[in-house]
Amino acid sequence: MSHERFSFILQSSRMLTARVRQLDFRRADGAPLQYAPGQFVTLHLPWDGMELRRSYSIATIPGSAAEVQVAVTHVTGGRATKLLYDMTPGAQLQASGPFGRFMLRDDPPGRYLLVATGTGVSPYRAMLPQLQARLAGGKHAATLLLGVRGPDELLYGEDFLRLARDNPAFQFIASYSRHLSEPPGAHERKGYVQEHLLELNPDPQRDIVYLCGNPDMIDAAVERLKAIGFDNHNLRREKYVSSN
């Protein structure tokens, strides 16, 4: 798949939670963006005579009416945050992509452990149809763990709960670092996502672990997983680090 530069037009935007805004783009030239679920786009944003480059995972569920949805966490004082939160429908920006190798692969039977903090869950939302197809084959299982502060931040939770309801091979766990619902739902736990990952007894012989979002969470999880035998063939990561 080639990387190209193109213009995006903002179709619509809305707050998904108090700290996350979803932006729906389409290409200005009308061409569909060809990408694989799990990939990201880079937005080229004018700032103070410079060009900021900021990457965002594509959150669109393939097959839905939306073209390119991204979910942007509000970063206080963040430059791209300000530009993107202030954008109004019809505005255009430069973008390039798709990029990245954080995708499902042609893996042997086993269990996927899909771990995210906050908007790090976007690539897994884009993977939902692929996951569903893989689980239907009967040889794979998947558990998705999403770490956020509390139930009001459960990004795209309904999409994951729906798959869990329809598919016994899929489990969804919400890890809340600050507070639980009252009473907590069966999928909700208090604590950090990396602790709940270890409670699932990850097994390097059968599990493949995907980690996306906060770099500190990813480093902490990788250290623990490597200590029990995981290596680069069954650990896949996408760190949401800031550039220039």
Ligand X SMILES: Cc1cc2nc3c(=O)[nH]c(=O)nc-3n(C[C@H](O)[C@H](O)[C@H](O)COP(=O)(O)OP(=O)(O)OC[C@H]3O[C@@H](n4cnc5c(N)ncnc54)[C@H](O)[C@@H]3O)c2cc1C
Q: What residue ranges bind ligand X (CB under 6 A)?
A: 40, 54-57, 70-73, 75, 77-81, 119, 122, 238, 240-242
CB nearer to ligand X: pick between 13 and 122: 122
Q: To the nearest whole angstrom, how small is the minimum distance from the Cβ of residue 78 to ligand X?
A: 2
Q: To the nearest whole angstrom, how small is the minimum distance from the Cβ of residue 206 to ligand X?
A: 28
Burial of 151 (0-12, 13-18, 19+ CB in 10 A): middle
Q: To the nearest whole angstrom, how small is the minimum distance from the Cβ of residue 240 to ligand X?
A: 4
Helix (H, G, I), strand (E, B) or coil at 57: strand
CB nearer to ligand X: pick between 70 and 217: 70
The answer to whether the beta carbons of residues 163 and 187 sit under 8 Å apart is: no
CB nearer to ligand X: pick between 79 and 111: 79
Amino acid sitting at position 186: A
The answer to whether the beta carbons of residues 153 and 181 sit under 8 Å apart is: no
Q: Which residue is nearest to ligand X (CB)?
A: 78
φ and ψ at 134, to 5 degrees? -70, -40
Please report the beta strands in 18-164, taking only residues with DSSP state E, as ranges in sequence order.
Answer: 20-27, 40-47, 50-57, 68-73, 92-99, 110-117, 140-148
Q: To the nearest whole angstrom, how small is the minimum distance from the Cβ of residue 138 to ligand X?
A: 32
Q: To the nearest whole angstrom, how small is the minimum distance from the Cβ of residue 100 to ligand X?
A: 6
* Dihedral angle over CA of 23, 24, 30, 33, nearest 10: 90
